Amino acid sequence: MAQAKHDVFQAIADPTRREVLRLLAKRDLPITEITAHFPISRTAITKHLTILSEAELVSGKKVGREKIYQLHPEPLSELKDWLSFYEQFWDNKISMLRHLVENDKEENSK
């Protein structure tokens, strides 16, 4: 399998591409419907779809005169795995905050 031109992290870095993924999570859409959700040109949306396709997050297939795009969420697991490493830091901060709040309540109730 050839190396993708864009990785998942690059692909989701842009808010427009994240919104395209959100739209495609609901259902497969033709480019005309995707474009209707944005104040940018069809050419710009095509460029975003190309980046998402290169990251293997979406694919398009010709159906008659239209190209219908569909989401492939599997590559997002790479992002989930990366983020899960950092959850330990968030969990630690939440535990520390909980400890401080509980100790403060105990101090104030005395």
Q: Which two tokens stand for residue 110?
A: 């005395």
pTM of the shown model:
0.75
pLDDT tens for residues 9-61? 999 999 999 999 999 999 999 999 999 999 999 999 999 999 999 999 999 99
Rounded distance between C-alpha atoms, residue 35 and residue 58, angstroms: 15
SS3 38: coil
Sign of the alpha-carbon dihedral angle for 32, 20, 28, 55? positive
Question: C-alpha 33: how far from its chain's center?
Answer: 19
H helices of the chain, in order, are 8-12, 15-26, 31-36, 42-54, 76-109
